Structure 1
Amino acid sequence: MKTTKILYWVFTVLIVALMLFSAISTFIPNPQGAEIAKHMGYPLYVFKFLAVAKILGVVALLVPGYPRLKEWAYAGFFFDMVGATYSFIVIGDPVASWAPMFIFIAILFGSYIFYHKKINA
Protein backbone atom coordinates (compact mmCIF):
# COMPACT_ATOMS: atom_id res chain seq x y z
CA MET A 1 0.00 0.00 0.00
CA LYS A 2 2.79 2.42 0.87
CA THR A 3 4.59 1.72 -2.41
CA THR A 4 1.35 2.27 -4.32
CA LYS A 5 0.84 5.68 -2.69
CA ILE A 6 4.43 6.71 -3.32
CA LEU A 7 4.26 5.71 -6.99
CA TYR A 8 0.88 7.42 -7.36
CA TRP A 9 2.28 10.68 -6.00
CA VAL A 10 5.48 10.46 -8.07
CA PHE A 11 3.53 10.02 -11.31
CA THR A 12 0.88 12.55 -10.31
CA VAL A 13 3.37 15.26 -9.32
CA LEU A 14 5.17 14.77 -12.64
CA ILE A 15 1.99 15.07 -14.70
CA VAL A 16 0.76 18.04 -12.63
CA ALA A 17 4.11 19.80 -13.11
CA LEU A 18 4.02 19.13 -16.85
CA MET A 19 0.47 20.46 -17.21
CA LEU A 20 1.12 23.52 -15.04
CA PHE A 21 4.30 24.35 -16.94
CA SER A 22 2.42 24.01 -20.21
CA ALA A 23 -0.50 26.13 -19.00
CA ILE A 24 1.55 28.89 -17.40
CA SER A 25 3.86 29.21 -20.38
CA THR A 26 0.80 29.84 -22.55
CA PHE A 27 -0.03 33.00 -20.60
CA ILE A 28 3.52 34.39 -20.67
CA PRO A 29 4.07 36.57 -23.75
CA ASN A 30 6.44 34.54 -25.89
CA PRO A 31 6.96 34.97 -29.64
CA GLN A 32 8.14 31.36 -29.86
CA GLY A 33 4.75 30.13 -28.54
CA ALA A 34 2.93 32.20 -31.15
CA GLU A 35 5.21 30.77 -33.82
CA ILE A 36 4.46 27.21 -32.70
CA ALA A 37 0.71 27.94 -32.83
CA LYS A 38 1.09 29.36 -36.33
CA HIS A 39 3.24 26.39 -37.41
CA MET A 40 0.58 23.97 -36.15
CA GLY A 41 -2.21 25.97 -37.79
CA TYR A 42 -4.08 26.82 -34.58
CA PRO A 43 -5.19 30.26 -33.42
CA LEU A 44 -3.71 31.45 -30.11
CA TYR A 45 -7.06 31.46 -28.35
CA VAL A 46 -7.22 27.65 -28.61
CA PHE A 47 -4.01 27.37 -26.58
CA LYS A 48 -5.36 29.78 -23.95
CA PHE A 49 -8.55 27.72 -23.66
CA LEU A 50 -6.52 24.52 -23.28
CA ALA A 51 -4.32 26.22 -20.65
CA VAL A 52 -7.37 27.06 -18.53
CA ALA A 53 -8.63 23.48 -18.95
CA LYS A 54 -5.22 22.14 -17.85
CA ILE A 55 -5.27 24.28 -14.72
CA LEU A 56 -8.76 23.04 -13.88
CA GLY A 57 -7.60 19.45 -14.49
CA VAL A 58 -4.66 19.94 -12.14
CA VAL A 59 -7.02 21.22 -9.46
CA ALA A 60 -9.28 18.19 -10.04
CA LEU A 61 -6.37 15.79 -9.56
CA LEU A 62 -5.06 17.45 -6.42
CA VAL A 63 -8.32 18.05 -4.54
CA PRO A 64 -9.25 15.02 -2.42
CA GLY A 65 -12.42 13.16 -3.34
CA TYR A 66 -14.48 13.73 -6.48
CA PRO A 67 -13.52 10.50 -8.29
CA ARG A 68 -15.69 11.23 -11.34
CA LEU A 69 -14.06 14.64 -11.77
CA LYS A 70 -10.62 12.99 -11.59
CA GLU A 71 -11.66 10.56 -14.34
CA TRP A 72 -12.63 13.52 -16.53
CA ALA A 73 -9.32 15.23 -15.79
CA TYR A 74 -7.35 12.13 -16.76
CA ALA A 75 -9.38 11.79 -19.95
CA GLY A 76 -8.87 15.45 -20.80
CA PHE A 77 -5.12 15.23 -20.27
CA PHE A 78 -4.99 12.10 -22.42
CA PHE A 79 -6.92 13.71 -25.29
CA ASP A 80 -4.78 16.85 -25.01
CA MET A 81 -1.53 14.91 -25.30
CA VAL A 82 -2.73 12.55 -28.02
CA GLY A 83 -4.17 15.48 -29.96
CA ALA A 84 -0.89 17.40 -29.70
CA THR A 85 1.08 14.35 -30.81
CA TYR A 86 -1.24 13.78 -33.75
CA SER A 87 -1.00 17.45 -34.75
CA PHE A 88 2.80 17.30 -34.81
CA ILE A 89 2.74 14.10 -36.87
CA VAL A 90 0.20 15.44 -39.39
CA ILE A 91 2.10 18.68 -40.06
CA GLY A 92 5.21 16.64 -40.79
CA ASP A 93 7.41 17.47 -37.82
CA PRO A 94 10.34 15.09 -37.34
CA VAL A 95 9.97 12.15 -34.95
CA ALA A 96 12.40 13.77 -32.50
CA SER A 97 9.94 16.59 -31.87
CA TRP A 98 6.88 14.46 -31.06
CA ALA A 99 8.27 11.14 -29.78
CA PRO A 100 8.84 12.48 -26.21
CA MET A 101 5.07 12.88 -25.93
CA PHE A 102 4.83 9.12 -25.48
CA ILE A 103 6.88 9.47 -22.28
CA PHE A 104 4.38 12.03 -20.97
CA ILE A 105 1.48 9.78 -21.93
CA ALA A 106 3.17 6.89 -20.07
CA ILE A 107 3.53 9.11 -16.98
CA LEU A 108 -0.17 9.96 -17.24
CA PHE A 109 -1.03 6.25 -17.44
CA GLY A 110 1.18 5.61 -14.41
CA SER A 111 -0.73 8.18 -12.38
CA TYR A 112 -4.07 6.81 -13.57
CA ILE A 113 -3.19 3.18 -12.85
CA PHE A 114 -1.82 3.90 -9.38
CA TYR A 115 -4.79 6.17 -8.62
CA HIS A 116 -7.08 3.18 -9.15
CA LYS A 117 -4.81 0.88 -7.19
CA LYS A 118 -4.78 3.40 -4.34
CA ILE A 119 -8.56 3.82 -4.15
CA ASN A 120 -9.24 0.08 -4.52
CA ALA A 121 -6.74 -0.98 -1.85
Structure 2
Amino acid sequence: MKKTKIIYWIFTGLLVALMVLGSIPDIMSAPDAVALFNDLGYPTYLLPFIGIAKLLGVVAILIPGFPRIKEWAYAGFVFDLTGAMYSSISVGDPASGWLLFIIGYILIAGSYIYHHKIIKSATSCTLSNKNS
Protein backbone atom coordinates (compact mmCIF):
# COMPACT_ATOMS: atom_id res chain seq x y z
CA MET A 1 0.00 0.00 0.00
CA LYS A 2 2.85 2.40 0.85
CA LYS A 3 4.52 1.88 -2.54
CA THR A 4 1.18 2.49 -4.27
CA LYS A 5 0.68 5.76 -2.39
CA ILE A 6 4.19 6.95 -3.23
CA ILE A 7 3.66 6.23 -6.92
CA TYR A 8 0.24 7.93 -6.77
CA TRP A 9 1.71 11.08 -5.22
CA ILE A 10 4.54 11.22 -7.76
CA PHE A 11 2.09 11.08 -10.67
CA THR A 12 -0.36 13.42 -8.96
CA GLY A 13 2.29 15.93 -7.91
CA LEU A 14 3.65 16.16 -11.44
CA LEU A 15 0.12 16.41 -12.87
CA VAL A 16 -0.77 19.18 -10.42
CA ALA A 17 2.43 21.04 -11.30
CA LEU A 18 1.67 20.76 -15.02
CA MET A 19 -1.90 22.00 -14.59
CA VAL A 20 -1.06 24.83 -12.18
CA LEU A 21 1.81 26.04 -14.35
CA GLY A 22 -0.53 25.96 -17.34
CA SER A 23 -3.40 27.70 -15.57
CA ILE A 24 -1.57 30.75 -14.21
CA PRO A 25 -0.75 32.31 -17.62
CA ASP A 26 -4.31 31.54 -18.72
CA ILE A 27 -5.89 33.26 -15.72
CA MET A 28 -3.61 36.28 -16.08
CA SER A 29 -4.06 36.36 -19.89
CA ALA A 30 -0.29 36.49 -20.26
CA PRO A 31 0.94 37.74 -23.65
CA ASP A 32 2.31 34.30 -24.61
CA ALA A 33 -1.00 32.62 -23.78
CA VAL A 34 -2.93 35.27 -25.72
CA ALA A 35 -0.61 34.83 -28.72
CA LEU A 36 -1.07 31.05 -28.62
CA PHE A 37 -4.85 31.40 -28.46
CA ASN A 38 -4.79 33.85 -31.36
CA ASP A 39 -2.66 31.43 -33.40
CA LEU A 40 -5.19 28.69 -32.71
CA GLY A 41 -8.06 30.97 -33.69
CA TYR A 42 -9.80 30.99 -30.31
CA PRO A 43 -11.22 34.06 -28.57
CA THR A 44 -8.99 35.19 -25.73
CA TYR A 45 -11.89 35.68 -23.33
CA LEU A 46 -11.81 31.88 -22.87
CA LEU A 47 -8.33 31.98 -21.33
CA PRO A 48 -9.31 32.94 -17.75
CA PHE A 49 -12.21 30.46 -17.82
CA ILE A 50 -9.95 27.58 -18.86
CA GLY A 51 -7.31 28.60 -16.29
CA ILE A 52 -9.85 28.70 -13.46
CA ALA A 53 -11.30 25.35 -14.57
CA LYS A 54 -7.81 23.81 -14.42
CA LEU A 55 -7.24 25.19 -10.92
CA LEU A 56 -10.61 23.87 -9.74
CA GLY A 57 -9.67 20.48 -11.17
CA VAL A 58 -6.41 20.55 -9.21
CA VAL A 59 -8.30 21.38 -6.01
CA ALA A 60 -10.77 18.55 -6.67
CA ILE A 61 -7.97 16.04 -7.14
CA LEU A 62 -6.04 17.14 -4.05
CA ILE A 63 -8.95 17.33 -1.60
CA PRO A 64 -9.78 13.96 -0.04
CA GLY A 65 -13.29 12.63 -0.49
CA PHE A 66 -15.75 13.75 -3.16
CA PRO A 67 -15.10 10.78 -5.47
CA ARG A 68 -17.53 11.87 -8.17
CA ILE A 69 -16.03 15.38 -8.40
CA LYS A 70 -12.57 13.83 -8.55
CA GLU A 71 -13.67 11.65 -11.49
CA TRP A 72 -14.99 14.74 -13.29
CA ALA A 73 -11.71 16.55 -12.66
CA TYR A 74 -9.73 13.74 -14.27
CA ALA A 75 -12.17 13.74 -17.20
CA GLY A 76 -11.85 17.52 -17.50
CA PHE A 77 -8.08 17.27 -17.70
CA VAL A 78 -8.40 14.68 -20.48
CA PHE A 79 -10.86 16.94 -22.34
CA ASP A 80 -8.54 19.93 -21.91
CA LEU A 81 -5.49 18.04 -23.14
CA THR A 82 -7.37 16.42 -26.02
CA GLY A 83 -8.77 19.77 -27.15
CA ALA A 84 -5.37 21.40 -26.94
CA MET A 85 -3.71 18.58 -28.86
CA TYR A 86 -6.42 18.55 -31.53
CA SER A 87 -6.13 22.31 -31.92
CA SER A 88 -2.36 22.05 -32.22
CA ILE A 89 -2.63 19.38 -34.90
CA SER A 90 -5.35 21.33 -36.74
CA VAL A 91 -3.18 24.40 -37.21
CA GLY A 92 -0.29 22.30 -38.48
CA ASP A 93 2.02 22.36 -35.48
CA PRO A 94 4.81 19.77 -35.83
CA ALA A 95 4.60 16.39 -34.12
CA SER A 96 7.61 17.35 -32.00
CA GLY A 97 5.22 19.49 -29.94
CA TRP A 98 3.16 16.46 -28.96
CA LEU A 99 5.61 15.41 -26.25
CA LEU A 100 4.02 17.65 -23.62
CA PHE A 101 0.58 16.25 -24.45
CA ILE A 102 1.83 12.68 -24.20
CA ILE A 103 3.45 13.44 -20.84
CA GLY A 104 0.17 14.99 -19.69
CA TYR A 105 -1.80 11.90 -20.69
CA ILE A 106 0.69 9.64 -18.91
CA LEU A 107 0.45 11.74 -15.73
CA ILE A 108 -3.35 11.75 -15.82
CA ALA A 109 -3.49 8.00 -16.42
CA GLY A 110 -0.93 7.24 -13.72
CA SER A 111 -2.63 9.42 -11.13
CA TYR A 112 -6.06 8.02 -12.00
CA ILE A 113 -4.98 4.36 -12.01
CA TYR A 114 -3.09 4.62 -8.72
CA HIS A 115 -5.92 6.60 -7.12
CA HIS A 116 -8.21 3.66 -7.85
CA LYS A 117 -5.62 1.16 -6.60
CA ILE A 118 -5.51 3.03 -3.29
CA ILE A 119 -9.31 3.02 -3.06
CA LYS A 120 -9.46 -0.70 -3.88
CA SER A 121 -6.76 -1.49 -1.34
CA ALA A 122 -8.47 0.57 1.36
CA THR A 123 -11.79 -1.11 0.62
CA SER A 124 -10.31 -4.60 0.79
CA CYS A 125 -8.53 -3.76 4.07
CA THR A 126 -11.80 -2.48 5.53
CA LEU A 127 -13.66 -5.61 4.44
CA SER A 128 -10.98 -7.93 5.83
CA ASN A 129 -11.04 -6.08 9.17
CA LYS A 130 -14.83 -6.46 9.37
CA ASN A 131 -14.58 -10.20 8.71
CA SER A 132 -11.98 -10.68 11.47
Separation (CA, whole Å) in 1 of partners of 2:104 and 2:62 = 18
Q: Which has the higher contact order (CA 8 A, sep 6+)?
A: 1
Structure-to-structure mapping, 1:71-110, within 5 angstroms: 71-110=71-110
Letter in 1 for 2:43: P
Distance between the aligned counterparts of 1:108 and 1:73, measured in 2?
A: 10
Letter paired with 2:57: G
CA contact 2:23–2:52 (8 Å) conserved in 1: yes
In structure 2, what residue type is equivalent to 1:67?
A: P
Bigger Rg, structure 1 or 2: 2
Query: Can you list the C-alpha shifts for 1:35-55, whole angstroms capped at 9, x where unaligned?
Result: 111000111121211111111
TM-score between both structures, scaled by the size of structure 2: 0.87
Q: Which amino acid aligns with 2:32?
A: Q
Structure 1 partner of 2:61: 61
Structure 1 stretches lacking a partner, 5+ long: none
Runs of 4+ that moved beyond 6 A: none
Q: Give the letter aligned to residue 58 of structure 1.
A: V
Q: Output the aligned Cα RMSD.
A: 1.1
Deviation at 1:98, TM superposition (A): 2.5
Task: Give me the identity figure in percent.
Answer: 50
Q: Match for 2:60: what amino acid?
A: A
Distance 2:52 2:28 in 1: 13
Deviations along 1:61-102, whole A, 9 cap, x unmatched? 111101111000000001100110011001111111233311
**Whole-angstrom distance in 1 between the partners of 2:69 and 2:32:** 33
Q: Report the alpha carbon displacement of residue 29 of structure 1 after superposing the two structures with TM.
A: 5.0
Q: Following TM superposition, by how much is the alpha carbon of 1:13 offset from its aligned partner in structure 2, in angstroms?
A: 0.7
Kindly indicate whether the alpha-carbon contact (under 8 Å) linking 2:27 and 2:52 is maintained by their aligned counterparts in 1. Answer: no
